[in-house]
């Protein structure tokens, strides 16, 4: 961490960053579950609840939390790649469901 932070302020800073990382880790966990299968009702409800606001910790990240933040960043990158693949697979699947360019066919059921 750049500079020195007095003891109580350091404890507050660490708590602030821990809270921020926990919130981001929760979001990544939900996204990871979305990529591996259907979500349970509670997770599905919280997955898109409200507008996302970035956490706003008070100051630079403490050295003790840097490794945790880097791991979170790695997990976010994996999720981003997985979501990109899932979106492309959805596009392909939707394209296959669209009717072919041909004249409509009707069946006469009155005969």
Q: Domain range for residue 68?
A: 7-96
Number of structural domains (the chain) is 1
Place of tokens 């990544």: 28
Whether residue 101 lies inside any domain: the answer is no
| pTM for this predicted structure | 0.72
Alpha-carbon span 11 to 15, nearest angstrom: 6
- Of 86, 71, 80, 62, whose CA–CA distance to 13 is shortest? 62
**pLDDT digit of tens for each residue in the chain (111 aa)?**
444 555 678 999 999 999 999 999 999 998 898 888 876 666 666 666 667 788 888 899 999 999 999 999 999 999 999 999 999 998 998 888 876 666 667 787 886
Whether residue 110 lies inside any domain: the answer is no
Report pLDDT for 106: 77
């Amino acid at each position: 961490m750049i500079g020195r932070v007095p003891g109580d302020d350091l404890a507050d800073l660490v708590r602030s960053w821990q809270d921020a990382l926990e919130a981001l880790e929760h979001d990544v966990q939900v996204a990871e579950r979305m990529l591996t299968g259907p979500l349970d009702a509670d997770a599905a409800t919280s997955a898109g609840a409200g507008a996302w606001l970035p956490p706003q910790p008070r100051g630079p990240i403490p050295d003790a939390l840097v490794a945790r933040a880097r791991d979170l960043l790695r997990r976010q990158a994996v999720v981003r790649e997985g979501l990109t693949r899932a979106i492309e697979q959805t596009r392909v699947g939707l394209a296959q469901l669209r009717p072919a360019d041909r004249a409509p066919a009707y069946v006469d059921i009155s005969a």
